[in-house]
Amino acid sequence: MDIIGKGRVVGYISAVLVVISIVLLFVPGLNLGIDFKSGTTFTYRFDDANIETDDVRVAIANTGHEEAIVQSLGQGEFLIRISEIQEGESAEIINAVTLEIGIAPDVLDTTTVGKSVADDTVRNAISAVIIASFFVMLYIVWAFRSVPSSYRYAIAAVVALGHDVALTLGVFAVLGQVLGVEVNAIFIVGILTVIGYSVNDTIVIFDRLRENTLIAPNRPFRNTVNLSINETITRSLATSITTATVILAMLLFGGPTLRDFLIVLLTGVIVGSYSSIFVASNLLVAWNSGTLGRVFGAPFRRFRRQAEPA
């Protein structure tokens, strides 16, 4: 199967998806949890499992929190997210809910995050992803030092990681509007797990590429990459399908607690498998053949010609 022959089509598809994902990060944007913005969350449980979400939302809106987001967790449990509250306001909200619904809720959990803590969480999340990518690059440069231009392998792998993270964020921007899926601290754990999975999948292909390059150094690099992908694609797809099946089973039967984390993993497994087979390898071939430089250099050459006097 000629995977590399589809490089241009794959490149266009990936570029379009990344651009769409970046646009979605601004419009409509991610549905940030209180880990990334100040606020308070409550988890209420009512003895009556037939209570409606709208009833709880109206009761909380009566306390002045019209921005409250109420999500049903099933079995009479509700997750409520509001702006940061003042001391003693929690009791007022419980009284308002009791008065409106007629049943006093059991408070299972209360979490408040201030603005400074939320800002620190954002900075730490970005730092974690950057540091993880940096060490991935160092490892690949060292592990592939026996082949020429090992830094290209490292950069190709990190570009594939960026591709995976961008698409995952784009998916979450959509799911945040459709299903109310939040980006919170556990989301960052999921992103770092996705990075590890994607790197592992990419290195499996790159490792076979290194072996084939050392065995037949005079073979055209494009053919060596294509051979390496075909030799490892069955293993990569089998691992991805098995992992995705387990995650999907947990997502369907594991309850709402780990839902957001499992969605990150499922998205990452699918996108990571695609990028390892198509994006990273095709980028490496384009760079090695000089095609990459011609593609990125074309706009600058066109601008320079237009700027030259007639």
Same fold, 4-32+117-301 and 39-113: no
Q: What is the pLDDT along the chain (310 residues), one digit of tens a residue?
A: 777 777 778 888 888 999 999 999 888 888 877 667 777 888 888 887 778 888 888 888 887 777 677 878 777 888 888 876 776 778 888 888 888 888 888 888 877 776 666 667 677 777 877 888 888 888 888 888 888 788 888 888 888 888 988 998 898 888 888 877 778 777 888 888 888 888 888 888 888 888 888 888 888 888 888 888 888 888 888 888 998 999 999 888 876 667 778 888 888 888 988 888 888 888 888 888 777 655 444 443 444 455 455 4
Which is nearest to 77 in space by CA: 49, 100, 96?
49
In three state form, how does the secondary structure of the chain look? CCCHHHHHHHHHHHHHHHHHHHHHHHHHHCCECCCCCCEEEEEEECCCCCCCHHHHHHHHHCCCCCCCEEEEEECCEEEEEECCCCCCHHHHHHHHHHHHHCCCCEEEEEEEECHHHHHHHHHHHHHHHHHHHHHHHHHHHHHCCCCCCHHHHHHHHHHHHHHHHHHHHHHHHHHHHHCCCCECHHHHHHHHHHHHHHHHHHHHHHHHHHHHHHHCCCCCHHHHHHHHHHHHHHHHHHHHHHHHHHHHHHHHHCCCCCHHHHHHHHHHHHHHHHHHHHHHHHHHHHHHHCHHHHHHHHHHHHHHHHHCCC
Domain 4-32+117-301: assigned CATH number: 1.20.1640.10
Which is nearest to 134 in space by CA: 64, 213, 199?
199
Residue 64: which residues within 8 A CB-CB, separation 6 or more? none
Query: What's the pLDDT score for residue 245?
Result: 92
Give domain limits for the chain. 4-32+117-301, 39-113
Stated pTM of the model = 0.74
Domain 39-113: assigned CATH number: 3.30.70.3400
